Structure 1
Amino acid sequence: MKRLLAAAGKGVPGPKLPSAFSERVYTKNDWYIIHFGDLGKIHKAASLGQVRKLESMTVKKKSIDLNKRDAKKRTALHWACVNGHAEVVTFLVDRKCQLDVLDGESRTPLMKALQCQREACANILIDSGADVNAVDMYGNTPLHYAVYSENLSMVAKLLSHDAVVEVQNKASLTPLLLAIMKRSERIVEFLLTKNANANAVNEFKCIHQQLLKHIRKLSKNPQNTNPGKISDSKLLLVVLP
């Protein structure tokens, strides 16, 4: 497996960023450790889920900026999503806050909700029109985060709202290749039914027979709208143990 991980990182250009497929990139939340002395009132209330306090603040100060950023460019919506406060997310969305503000790592509130596995918050944002194709500093989209978390329902939700399935991050990983790296067979199979380009993984040396059998079946299925994308001769997948 180490040999395969090394192969995945060969094409990363530019400065020495953490591998866009490493666990730390997808799970680290260092920028959201709460130091209340560093937060404004609106950010503190959102991080604690204090929706009544937020309501009181907006009544007293009708001109309050719901999109105000803290020192690390995080908004109240970012804080609510990280901590899973769906009621606060609904409150902010209903008051027309900006949905796609980027924090200091170019992550939107939707990305943070998916990264922290806050599905209720993510659903609210997607249904409210949040950008499902935003890209963070590592080239990851919301779909990459859903795939990494192995959350099939969120993968399906994002795709139903026109998430692009072929985006490559800075390690040249599409969501499909990331799913293979995670050994998430259900998500791999699902992405293939959505016409993910299986040939994107052709730098790898081994073919997993179970997946290959499934792919051949899909390629012969008349309901598959793009069978030409599934090529046995070019498709190379990571072997699962």
Structure 2
Amino acid sequence: MKRLLAAAGKGVPCPKFPGASSELVYTNNDWYIIHFGDLGKIHKAASLGQVQKLESMTVKKKSIDLNKRDAKKRTALHWACVNGHAEVVTFLVDRKCQLDVLDGESRTPLIKALQCQREACANILIDSGADVNAVDVYGNTPLHYAVYSENLSMVAKLLSHDAVIEVQNKASLTPLLLAIIQRNERIVEFLLTKNANANAVNEFKCTALMLAVCEGSSEIVGMLLQQNVDIFAEDTYGMTAEHYAAACGVNL
């Protein structure tokens, strides 16, 4: 991620959407690290995609708790989603497991499916009524993770199921601002057609247009200008989009 004001000589960093090694959004282990000795039989079977074993367990023990949590509050559904076992997800959903249990980072199975890019699992959960507006400990919703993964089809699916488009995470990024930082023109264009706020700002009051200018995306800049954005809005440091454009050698 570029530094927004470096070209202007102020050296103030634009807050980036934290990735695998960053502090606000993702942890270092997006995929769960498996220590089988710490897992119950149901979690182990789900993580390995062993549907028949799960079926056998439910037949032998009719009172088995499908929502049982491991030491880090993860359910069998979490484990199935992280490892992309759609058939296990279907099995658990059909047996009325809880869809929105939170793990140790307040992430639902849907969030984990999107974070780990398990689209088939995510589709099953969304169609089954999973909460598309759940918020994890970092303030991210499923929509944030779909945008971060650059998955336009999942972005569209979430919005069609009433995902809120303007939620800011703890890095002060709406899905639109995140898509701009990602320089994903297709998702930016789609979000704008869904009435995303083109004048959204981050914690430094940097507007969507400022971010697009500093990311060097002329296509996204053009899209935003067509939205009649406020080019005179000032950030925390009194800079406008025109100041950024001059500093970055971009014409507005």
TM-score bracket, shorter-length normalisation: 0.7 to 0.9
Shift of residue 3 of structure 1? 1.5
Runs of 4+ displaced beyond 4 Å: 5-24, 202-211, 223-226
Higher alpha-carbon Rg: 2
**CA distance in structure 2 between the aligned counterparts of 1:8 and 1:168, rounded to whole angstroms:** 27
**CA distance in structure 2 between the aligned counterparts of 1:5 and 1:96, rounded to whole angstroms:** 52
- Asked if the contact 2:172/2:203 (under 8 Å) is kept, the reply is no
Aligned to 1:229: none
Percent identity of paired positions between Structure 1 and Structure 2: 91
Shift of residue 15 of structure 1? 16
User: Structure 1 residues 15, 71: CA separation in 2 closer, same or farther (over 3 Å shift)?
Assistant: farther
User: Structure 1 residues 23, 41: CA separation in 2 closer, same or farther (over 3 Å shift)?
Assistant: same
User: Structure 1 residues 7, 148: CA separation in 2 closer, same or farther (over 3 Å shift)?
Assistant: farther
User: Structure 1 residues 193, 30: CA separation in 2 closer, same or farther (over 3 Å shift)?
Assistant: closer
How many residues are aligned here? 215
- Asked if the contact 2:140/2:169 (under 8 Å) is kept, the reply is yes
**1:114-133 CA-partner distances (Å, limit 9, x unpaired):** 00000000000000000000
The alignment partner of 1:155 has SS state of: helix
**What runs of 5+ residues in structure 2 fail to find an aligned partner?**
212-226, 231-252
**1:59-86 CA-partner distances (Å, limit 9, x unpaired):** 0000000000000000000000000000
User: Structure 1 residues 59, 8: CA separation in 2 closer, same or farther (over 3 Å shift)?
Assistant: farther
Shift of residue 4 of structure 1? 3.0
The alignment partner of 2:7 has SS state of: helix
- Asked if the contact 1:21/1:178 (under 8 Å) is kept, the reply is no
Shift of residue 171 of structure 1? 1.1
RMSD between aligned alpha carbons?
4.9
- Asked if the contact 2:43/2:79 (under 8 Å) is kept, the reply is yes
Shift of residue 16 of structure 1? 15
Shift of residue 208 of structure 1? 9.5
- Asked if the contact 2:49/2:88 (under 8 Å) is kept, the reply is yes
User: Structure 1 residues 55, 29: CA separation in 2 closer, same or farther (over 3 Å shift)?
Assistant: same
**CA distance in structure 1 between the aligned counterparts of 2:2 and 2:14, rounded to whole angstroms:** 23
**CA distance in structure 1 between the aligned counterparts of 2:48 and 2:92, rounded to whole angstroms:** 14
**CA distance in structure 1 between the aligned counterparts of 2:180 and 2:198, rounded to whole angstroms:** 11
Shift of residue 31 of structure 1? 6.7
The alignment partner of 1:154 has SS state of: helix
- Asked if the contact 2:17/2:173 (under 8 Å) is kept, the reply is no
**What runs of 5+ residues in structure 1 fail to find an aligned partner?**
212-222, 227-241
Aligned to 1:91: 91
Q: TM-score w.r.t. structure 2 length?
A: 0.73
User: Structure 1 residues 161, 168: CA separation in 2 closer, same or farther (over 3 Å shift)?
Assistant: same
Aligned to 2:101: 101
- Asked if the contact 2:19/2:26 (under 8 Å) is kept, the reply is no
User: Structure 1 residues 80, 208: CA separation in 2 closer, same or farther (over 3 Å shift)?
Assistant: closer
**1:4-58 CA-partner distances (Å, limit 9, x unpaired):** 3999999999999978994983474267110100000000000000000000000
User: Structure 1 residues 23, 49: CA separation in 2 closer, same or farther (over 3 Å shift)?
Assistant: farther
User: Structure 1 residues 9, 157: CA separation in 2 closer, same or farther (over 3 Å shift)?
Assistant: farther
**1:180-237 CA-partner distances (Å, limit 9, x unpaired):** 01111100000000000010037889999999xxxxxxxxxxx9999xxxxxxxxxxx
Q: Between Structure 1 and Structure 2, which shows a larger proportion of helix residues?
A: 1
- Asked if the contact 2:176/2:196 (under 8 Å) is kept, the reply is yes
